[in-house]
Structure 1
């Protein structure tokens, strides 16, 4: 008769053998990795289920399109208050209680918005701001938790597989919302999103309960029940040169990406106008042309991003190391905007932006999460949410300022904006090289290529 331990271990070994098709998963690691992937799958699915509600509520009111453009600035201002509040909670709570309290707050909000909107109270702006902060804070908190669970060596092997849960959750959430909105309407999607997020919290508590029994022991397991330090989150970032470098890297990355989306949008609009001028498109069908382009574009970007996440990212990180992998996207982006300078036509820019964005959603996101692996628990739980919320929004603001200056003061064309992005990509690459070298120093050399 097979001993109980052997019988219990056999399915686990089968699971790990299956997961090794995608990354280097070792015996005993499979169940926790899959649960974490499912956890972030649910978080992203909840966000994308509620995202159409955000657009419907804010665009339905007068001046909605203009309000959207100002919302990023409002969110950045709000985060100046929210980030220190989050730091105050972190000082008083252990990691499980902190994540439960923060997530429960976000779970409780959608039913409130649902009731208020049902009574005719305008919640479009408030819901827009709330969802934007949710998408930054909760996801950053999840990845801070993953950084706390794994050593740098294990994180570099396993984060690509966990991040696939995020990629597929985004696609699934968008698919579900697209179908449900025609069945239940707009407002009930708030409740669906809240339910999905609540399920993710139940799963988190299950994962955290069993985290101490995994093969890969959390590097700070003995501190999991303690508070997360007394420093203000902004001080945590500003007092650590490595964290400040990551913050500047994320800021410039977002600045480039947001400006790149403007370039693509402008080329699409000009392409539609050219079709109308040539008599190939009726003017009242311009919206259909633009919407059809973006539907096809996002579908290809998301599909390619998922495939890269599943089959390429972990192998690339293992082969090149984090310090080199973090430089891949800025090099690709440099090529993309160089092409946009020389050939600013839709047929070309579409595919170079597809390559850039699919790498951003897969390799760059995963490597960015890995950068926090060698840091302390306080730096993970305070630094990452601060950088992934406040500094991301500052990058959006810089992009908006660039677009305003380029259109109002300098009347730049597509090539002019692409040339400006080339300069920014040079700064981005320099920051990536510096951060990559710092990471390499923080992580012992034998762990860089396991």
Structure 2
């Protein structure tokens, strides 16, 4: 990726460099090798890009796999030690703690180059898991502290690796290769959840922490290897970035002074509110059906839990499967057809259809289908869009502003959604009333997506089709 010399408004646009046009040095058009031909089934991988893209894809697979191992441990500890109420309070505490952690991360990023930053933070999180393991052996109750830690680890580690990818690849490369990286993330989530279900019993929660710490060490090595492969191919300018540090401006400062970044932050908050509100409505409809099918007597509590658990298991299986299919076979084609900014409208349109349907006739089976479509699109296409939106920004935005968006803004959405439920419950809202409230928020989300579309078009001029 080139120097950020093209100034457009307030956000700097990365200029294309040697990473965009592979060269063999002989004047001949380079050819794809076997690996690149194979990867091109999923995404348009150009000659010379295959190995670096594959390593980053494997890295995301391992990182998301480790997260889902740790997430399974998180649920077992927090629910066993504190219950569902404590879990909800811990989620709110994450947003408050992140107000201090985001500026601290920005300070670290100012003093370390990108290689040391990624290595330091990944190994720091791995060392935390060893400490949790040792404390756990004493019998101490770690549920709340560990729950908060996992939430912070997830948003920081995943956001940081995607930041690294946006820093390594140009705008046109990101559009082509990010769908492939997303396959690694999606399959890692599925694989990690599957493995966790089979290891939590025989190993217990604390040994899974040690296993995850080992995986994080592998991720650190993969990140360094991927950076070495990609920067060596890109030339001296890209290699120089490995030793450069960032400016002193913090993540929140970047969001406040840059309209484009602020719109991404607002969109992230609104997306979370709408998505979680939909999940809440789905849960209420399922409880109503359970009451009708199983009954409400106290003696039937075990049967009610079994019915709800079985229903959700099937729901999650279909969501993960559809998400994987969309990520593997559709995302790269959607990007090629309508671009990153055109893809902004797909998920809110599906959400709009979901809440209009609930208003018209809230039937659980219909809402189930729409929520599977909504969540699977969120986990695949929208997730890739969110990362691709940072491609035409400065390096400071890719590391510091992205960290603020993916951590604080995500958790702020969680807190505000809880506020929506609190207000609705206090006013004795039924399902349709909750749907009406969320429908208004969805329309606001669409408006923000439109404004973001305009800003992205300003940053990425339409005269270069490859940079859409």
Give TM class, smaller chain: over 0.9
Alpha-carbon distance in 2 for matches of 1:315, 1:446:
21
Q: Is residue 375 from structure 1 mapped to residue 393 from structure 2 by the alignment? A: yes
| Paired position in structure 2 for 1:424 | 441
User: Any idea what SS the aligned residue of 1:23 has?
Assistant: coil
Pair 1:124 & 2:143 matched: yes
- Residue 212 of structure 1 is aligned with which of 231, 236, 239? 231
Question: Alpha-carbon deviation of 1:282?
Answer: 4.3
Whole-Å Cα distance in 1 between the matches of residues 218 and 49 of structure 2?
Answer: 23
Distance 1:427 1:106 in 2: 37
Preserved contact between residue 150 and residue 219 of structure 1 (Cα < 8 Å): no
1:78 equivalent to 2:102? Answer: no
- 1:372–1:220 Cα change, 3 Å: farther
Corresponding residue number in structure 2 for 1:240 = 258
Q: Given the alignment of the two structures, is residue 41 of structure 1 paired with residue 61 of structure 2, yes or no?
A: yes
Q: CA deviation at 1:224?
A: 3.1
| Partners of 1:442 and 1:345 in 2: CA distance | 43
Distance 1:330 1:220, change over 3 A: farther
Deviation at 1:429, TM superposition (A): 0.6
Corresponding position of 1:257: 275
Q: Is the 8 A contact 1:266 1:414 kept in 2?
A: yes
SS of residue matched to 1:168: helix
Quick check: 2:114–2:241 contact (8 Å CA) kept in 1? no
Aligned to 1:31: 51
Deviation at 1:447, TM superposition (A): 3.7
Displacement after TM superposition at 1:170 (Å)? 0.4
**TM-score where L is the length of structure 2:** 0.91
Q: What's the secondary structure of 2:205's corresponding residue?
A: coil
Q: CA deviation at 1:278?
A: 9.7
Shift of the alpha carbon at 1:180? 1.0
Matching of residues 350-429 of structure 1 within 5 Å: 350-408=368-426, 410-429=427-446
> TM-score with structure 1 length normalisation?
0.94
Asked if 1:59 is matched to 2:76, the reply is no
Q: Against the structure 1 CA distance between its residues 370 and 221, is the aligned structure 2 distance closer, same or farther, given a 3 Å change threshold?
A: farther
Distance 1:407 1:14 in 2: 58
The equivalent of 1:298 in structure 2 is 316
Divergent runs of 4+, >6 A: none
Tell me whether 1:149 sits opposite 2:168 in the alignment: yes
1:180 partnered with 2:180? no
Q: Deviations over 1:68-126 (max 9, x none)?
A: 11112210111011001101101111001111111111011111111111101111111
Give the Cα separation in 1 of the matches to 2:466 and 2:321.
29
Determine the structure 1 residue equivalent to 2:35.
Answer: 15
Alpha-carbon deviation of 1:433?
1.1
User: Hey, what's the Cα distance between the residues in 1 that align with 2:245 and 2:260?
Assistant: 23
By how many angstroms is 1:448 displaced?
3.7
Q: For the structure 1 residues 218 and 128, does the alpha-carbon distance in structure 2 shift closer, same or farther, using more than 3 Å as the test?
A: farther
Aligned CA distance change for structure 1 residues 391 and 217 (closer, same or farther; 3 Å): farther
1:95-174 matches, within 5 Å, as 95-174=114-193
Partner of 1:339: 357
1:313 and 2:327 are equivalent in the alignment:
no
Q: How many residues align?
A: 441
Q: Is the CA contact (8 Å cut-off) linking 1:322 and 1:436 kept in structure 2?
A: no
Q: What does the per-residue CA deviation read over 1:398-432, in whole Å, with 9 as the maximum and x for residues that have no partner?
A: 10000011012x11111111111111110001111
Residue of structure 1 in register with 2:87 after alignment: 68
Maintained 8 Å contact 1:151/1:219 = no
Q: Which runs of 5+ in 1 are unaligned?
A: none
Aligned residue for 1:325? 343
> Which deviates more from structure 2 when the two are superposed, residues 204-213 or residues 245-254?
204-213
Structure 2 Cα separation of the partners of residues 29 and 442 of structure 1: 25
The Cα of 1:179 is off from its aligned counterpart by 0.7
C-alpha distance in structure 2 between counterparts of 1:312 and 1:219, whole Å: 34
Q: CA deviation at 1:186?
A: 2.4
CA distance in 2, matches of 1:30, 1:208: 13
Query: For the residues of structure 1 that align with 2:39 and 2:235, how far apart are their CA atoms?
Result: 20
- Rounded Cα–Cα distance in structure 2 between residues aligned with 1:368 and 1:170: 18
Q: Distance in 2 between matches of 1:34 and 1:92?
A: 30
